């Protein structure tokens, strides 16, 4: 699949075509598609297309996506599926500037968002974040939509931070 075809499928294709196009764009590792992905993430009326664009930007580890992803995660009027993907993608982008927004949303009422914030701390977290993650690990009884425990993800983030600090 050519990149131009993949971008078209991401924009107008069926659900299956859209996700196959997202995977193809990640595999191609061509960052020239980033502006179009940012535009799609910002302007599409289809929430799942915005999620697919955020997913792709995350896996491309696009630093240009940092601020738009932060804004999405912090905007509680955005669909929770998009906020969840924004948090996960911030983990893949792995920029320490994301720590503040992740901390603000770590205790989100939506378990998927909280889980993905904890997940992102695996890559951006520092030892200063451990007390916040410990609080989540001891207080949360939430499970995300895949049945994974938010508290367990917080514990795993703590372990990763500690292993990096050694």
Condensed to tens digits (0 to 9), the pLDDT of residues 98-148 reads 999 999 999 999 999 999 999 999 999 999 999 999 999 999 999 999 999
pTM confidence score: 0.95
154 pLDDT exceeds 90? yes
Query: What distance in Å separates the CA atoms of residue 62 and residue 34, rounded to the nearest whole number?
Result: 7
Condensed to tens digits (0 to 9), the pLDDT of residues 27-69 reads 999 999 999 999 999 999 999 999 999 999 999 999 999 999 9
Please, which residues bridge with residue 149 across strands?
143
| Cβ neighbours of residue 22 closer than 8 Å, sequence gap 6 or more | 6, 10, 52, 53, 55, 56
Contact 166, 159 (CB under 8 A): no
pLDDT of 65 = 98
């Amino acid at each position: 699949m050519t990149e131009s075809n993949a971008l078209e499928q991401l924009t107008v294709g069926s659900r299956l075509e859209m996700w196959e196009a997202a995977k193809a764009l990640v595999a191609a590792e061509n960052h020239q598609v980033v502006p179009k992905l940012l535009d799609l993430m910002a302007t599409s009326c289809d929430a799942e297309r915005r999620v697919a664009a955020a997913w792709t930007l995350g896996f491309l580890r696009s630093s240009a996506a940092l601020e738009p992803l932060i804004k999405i995660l912090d905007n509680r009027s955005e669909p929770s599926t998009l906020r969840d993907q924004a948090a996960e993608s911030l983990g893949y982008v792995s920029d320490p500037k994301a720590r503040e927004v992740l901390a603000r949303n770590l205790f989100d009422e939506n378990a998927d968002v909280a889980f993905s914030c904890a997940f992102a701390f695996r890559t951006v977290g520092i030892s200063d974040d451990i007390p916040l993650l410990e609080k989540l690990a001891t207080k949360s009884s939430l499970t995300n939509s895949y049945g994974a425990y938010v508290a367990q993800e917080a514990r795993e983030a703590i372990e990763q931070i500690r292993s990096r600090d050694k």
